[in-house]
Amino acid sequence: MVEEIFQKFRDWIDNRHEYAKEWKEKTNRKIIGYFCTYVPEEILYAADILPVRILGSHEPPTVTEPYIFAMFCHLCRDSLAQGLKGKFDYLDGIVEGQSCLHLRQTFNAWRLHIPVDYAYYIYVPHSVQTPHATPYLTQELAKFKHSLEEWIGRKVTDSDLDRGIRTMNRNRELMRKIYEYRKLDNPKITGLEAMEMVLSSQMVDKEEHSKLVEQLLRELPNRKLNRNPGTRLMIIGSEDDDRIFMQNVENLGATFVIDEHCTGSRYLWNNVSPSEDRLGAIAERYVDRVPCPSKDWPEFTRVKHAVNLAQEFKAQGALVIQNKFCDPHGIEIPPLKEALKSIGVPIYPLEFDVTVPWGQFRTRVEAFLETLTGLEDLF
Ligand code: SF4
């Protein structure tokens, strides 16, 4: 049964567009595509809208050149390519929560060249470490809610917001409980399976997803994974949905026991603390969450979080995925390296593009794994 649950997560990812179209047909409700996890899905659920994350497909993008620069990160180029090819033609709207310049341009290119009924850019502050950030974002969320209300033609009430907060909190809490099983000496799930669980949660109705994660929580304690976990690895980076890479690395005698990705732990680590001021509570969550490096300034709080994760999940080494052309993540690699090295966790950086040269990467990852098992010490 556990295998069937993981297969369902996989199916949802592979058939994300078919799922969305069927959901729309079945519910007669709107679907909004969002680019970055700074979009507060709580408010979209409160408005009875299904949020789905816009991601790429890892096919070489051939259609984006006239619309955004070729030196934008692959997430942006590949996502936009999917829109230009009509893969997201069921979207009623798009929303972006300000993160980096590349994603802002992607949002703008989409808004200009791919017809949607509704487009909204939320000015999530860059300086999340100032005391002004939460009150500022609360006001921005009020503007966003108002704009949504005008579009859908009804008020989003406090009880709607409570429902939206409950839906998101429950899903994040359940997935965090699953992550606990990754701490075991013999983890009950692989890194690929964890990635597929979180990724699929960004593509389907959270209520449906939560039911399946609840079922998984009931059945996981009895699962015996018939594999040697090998070296305990952490994977760190930006958005990462390269499932083939995960599988290939885990086939080399390793298990990703924890991740630091916005398609992983960074998405689910923090909840909204309910309060009378619903929008204030949501704003606080997005200001206080584990930050994307585009907002991780002047303190590198994400680096401290990565160190805690490495210790809690007993990682022996970390692969750091640097998306080509991504400055925010590139800037955090030196402090990440220092901080993880200080607790005895060496890192190995790999540069990702839309497709990954696995032949070269295999040799490099194998060599890294050898250093971790004591054959060499390059650090
Ligand atoms: S990988 Fe970097 S450049 Fe690309 S969207 Fe994320 S923060 Fe922006």
Best of 54, 69, 75, 351 for a ligand 1 pocket test (most atoms within 8 Å of beta carbon): 75
Ligand 1, atom nearest to 75 Cα: 4
In a domain, 56, yes or no: yes
- Number of domains within the chain: 2
Q: What is the mean pLDDT of residues 92-115?
A: 96
User: What CATH number is given to the structural domain containing 276?
Assistant: 3.40.50.11900
Q: Among 152, 173, 205, which residue terminates a domain?
A: 152
Q: Which residues contact 125 (CB under 8 A, 6 or more apart)?
A: 98, 132, 133, 136, 137, 287, 295
Answer yes or no: do 263 and 139 share one domain. no
Residues 99, 37: Cα–Cα separation, whole Å: 9
Answer yes or no: do 316 and 171 share one domain. yes
Best of 73, 104, 352 for a ligand 1 pocket test (most atoms within 8 Å of beta carbon): 73
Edge-to-edge strands, sheet with 317-323: 254-260, 231-237, 317-323, 347-352
Mean pLDDT of the chain: 95
CB-based contact 236:306 (threshold 8 Å) = yes
Residues 143, 3: Cα–Cα separation, whole Å: 44
Q: What is the predicted pLDDT for the residue at 29?
A: 98
Alpha helices by DSSP H, the chain: 2-14, 16-27, 41-46, 74-84, 101-113, 133-152, 158-180, 191-201, 206-219, 243-250, 265-268, 278-288, 301-312, 327-331, 333-342, 358-372
Q: What is the predicted pLDDT for the residue at 284?
A: 98
276 Cα to the center of ligand 1, angstroms: 34
Answer yes or no: do 295 and 359 share one domain. yes
In a domain, 271, yes or no: yes
Answer yes or no: do 45 and 184 share one domain. no
Given a cut of 60, whether residue 57 has pLDDT beyond it is yes
For the chain, the maximum distance between any two Cα atoms, rounded to a whole number of angstroms, is 65
Given a cut of 70, whether residue 16 has pLDDT beyond it is yes
**Domain range enclosing 298:** 161-189+226-372
Tokens of 119: 């487009």
Q: What is the mean pLDDT of residues 158-177?
A: 98
User: Quick one: pLDDT band at residue 59, thresholds 50, 70, 90?
Assistant: confident
Answer yes or no: do 260 and 117 share one domain. no
Beta bridge partners of 232: 255
Tallying the residues shown for the chain, one arrives at: 379
Ligand 1, atom nearest to 100 Cα: 8
Answer yes or no: do 298 and 352 share one domain. yes
Beta bridge partners of 350: 321
Per-residue pLDDT tens digits for 307-359:
999 999 999 999 999 999 999 999 999 999 999 999 999 999 999 988 888 99
Q: What is the predicted pLDDT for the residue at 69?
A: 84
Residues 136, 276: Cα–Cα separation, whole Å: 18
Q: What is the DSSP letter of 352?
A: E
In a domain, 208, yes or no: no
User: What CATH number is given to the structural domain containing 83?
Assistant: 3.40.50.11890
Q: What is the DSSP letter of 256?
A: E
In a domain, 35, yes or no: yes
State the helix-helix crossing angle for 301-312 and 333-342, rounded to 10 degrees.
40
3-state secondary structure of 321: strand
Beta bridge partners of 34: 53, 95
Tokens of 105: 């341009």
Beta-carbon count within 10 A of 358 CB: 14
Answer yes or no: do 71 and 110 share one domain. yes
Ligand 1, atom nearest to 292 Cα: 7
φ, ψ at 322 (rounded to 5°):
-105, 115
Answer yes or no: do 134 and 235 share one domain. no
Strands 50-53 and 93-97 turn out to be: unpaired
Q: Among 126, 152, 178, which residue terminates a domain?
A: 152
> What percent of the chain has pLDDT above 90?
90
CB-based contact 97:77 (threshold 8 Å) = no
Given a cut of 70, whether residue 375 has pLDDT beyond it is no
Answer yes or no: do 68 and 166 share one domain. no
Per-residue pLDDT tens digits for 276-290:
999 999 999 999 999
Answer yes or no: do 166 and 89 share one domain. no
Q: What is the predicted pLDDT for the residue at 356?
A: 86
73 Cα to the center of ligand 1, angstroms: 6
Strands 254-260 and 317-323 turn out to be: unpaired
In a domain, 221, yes or no: no
In a domain, 304, yes or no: yes
Q: What is the predicted pLDDT for the residue at 84?
A: 94
Q: What is the predicted pLDDT for the residue at 378?
A: 47
Given a cut of 60, whether residue 377 has pLDDT beyond it is no
Answer yes or no: do 167 and 140 share one domain. no
Given a cut of 50, whether residue 379 has pLDDT beyond it is no
User: Quick one: pLDDT band at residue 293, thresholds 50, 70, 90?
Assistant: very high
Beta bridge partners of 122: 97
Q: Among 124, 152, 180, which residue terminates a domain?
A: 152
Answer yes or no: do 48 and 104 share one domain. yes
Q: Whose CA is nearest to atom 2 of ligand 1?
A: 326
Q: What is the predicted pLDDT for the residue at 294?
A: 93
pTM assigned to the model: 0.95
In a domain, 258, yes or no: yes
In a domain, 182, yes or no: yes
3-state secondary structure of 181: coil
Per-residue pLDDT tens digits for 263-278:
999 999 999 999 999 9
Find the residues whose C-beta lies inside 6 A of ligand 1. 73, 75-76, 99-100, 102-103, 238-239, 292, 294, 323, 326, 328-329
Beta-carbon count within 10 A of 204 CB: 21
CB-based contact 320:236 (threshold 8 Å) = yes
